[in-house]
Amino acid sequence: MSKVLLVEDNEMNRDMLSRRLIKKGFEVVMAFDGQQGVEMSVSEKPDIILLDMSLPVMDGWTAAGHIKANAETKEIPVIALTAHAMAEDREKALAAGCDEYDTKPIDFKRLLVTMNKFLNS
C-alpha cells in the first residue's frame, strides 16, 4: 500500500480527495499548511506528496523547494495541485521542485494516472 501525504488547507478538498484515495487502497496522511507538509515529508516518509500551492504559513512553492533540498525527501515525487491553470503556473511549480502539476477542480482519474506513473516507476 502506497502512502500519500496530502497537503491541503481546504477542508472540503482534503476530505473529498482523502476519501477517494483511501477507497483506491492508499494510506493517506494529511498536513494543513506548507510548514507541516515539509515536516511530515520527513517524519512520515510518504511514497508521494500531493501539494496544494496556495497554503497558509508556507506556500506550496516554498514547501516544494524545502522538500527537494532535503537529502531525506528529495526523491519523493511531488505533484502540485492548484487552481492556477495558466502555462506559466505549471512552469513555476516545476521550477519550484514539483515533479508534476495538476489543476483544480481535480480530475480524479487523471490524478491517479499521474500518481501511478511515479509510484510504478
pLDDT above 90 as % of the chain = 83
pTM (2 d.p.): 0.95
What was the pLDDT predicted at 88? 82
Q: Is the pLDDT of residue 83 over 90?
A: no
- Nearest CA-CA partner of 7 in 74, 75, 53: 53
Quick: pLDDT tens for 33-61.
Answer: 999 999 999 999 999 999 999 998 999 99
What was the pLDDT predicted at 86? 72
Q: Count other C-beta atoms under 10 Å from residue 100's C-beta.
A: 18
Cα–Cα distance between 55 and 7 in angstroms, integer? Answer: 8
| Domain ranges across the chain | 3-119
Q: Which CATH class is domain 3-119?
A: alpha beta
